[in-house]
Amino acid sequence: MHVHYSCPVYYLKATFGLGTGDAVLEIPLYVNDSGRCLSFSYQISSPRIQLVVLQSNSISINAEVSAVRTYADQNNIGGWNEVNFPLNTDVRSMQLVAETTGVTKNAEYLLVDAVKVDLCSKKGT
């Protein structure tokens, strides 16, 4: 039996310019088994923006950094990129944080869509 946890209403659109801060998408989850991954599609428009993926469990109040995606990590710059992040076995929430790593002068953006939790694929992240 193939079971997945879908989060179809979650998406993140962060537009950066002068004087803007980070954007955070918090996703409450209940994952208590191994072999699960968080997958989503994303676009990053600038080398001065990165996406940080954090996960929290029921024991720790602090979120743990799972991965960071940058402009250079994209296979399809200007288009959608797919990614999978392995989840710990006791995840209670995920955070996707769009943050600037330098001065943004023009309107620049980060988009995240099609967020879901499913069995990890064999091909990895």
Per-residue HEC secondary structure of 16-70 comes to: ECCCCCCEEEEEEEEECCCCEEEEEEEEECCCCEEEEEEEEECCCCCCEEEEEEE
pLDDT single digits (tens) 92-125 = 888 888 888 877 777 788 888 888 888 887 654 4
Per residue in 41-99, pLDDT tens? Answer: 999 998 988 999 988 886 666 777 888 999 999 999 989 999 988 888 888 888 888 88
| Token code pair at residue 20 | 């803007």
- Residue 79 is predicted with a pLDDT of 94
User: What integer is the mean pLDDT of 17-28?
Assistant: 73
**List of domains in the chain:** 5-119 (2.60.120.200)
User: Beta partners for 85?
Assistant: 38
Rounded CA separation 101/43 (Å):
16
What are the backbone angles phi and psi of residue 73, rounded to the nearest 5°? -75, -10
Between residues 54 and 12, the one the model is more confident about: 54
Q: Find all residues with CB under 8 Å of 106, minimum gap 6, and list them.
A: 17
Taking the model in full, what pTM does it have?
A: 0.78
What is the structure's pLDDT at 58?
66
Give the separation between CA 89 and CA 39, rounded to whole angstroms. Answer: 16
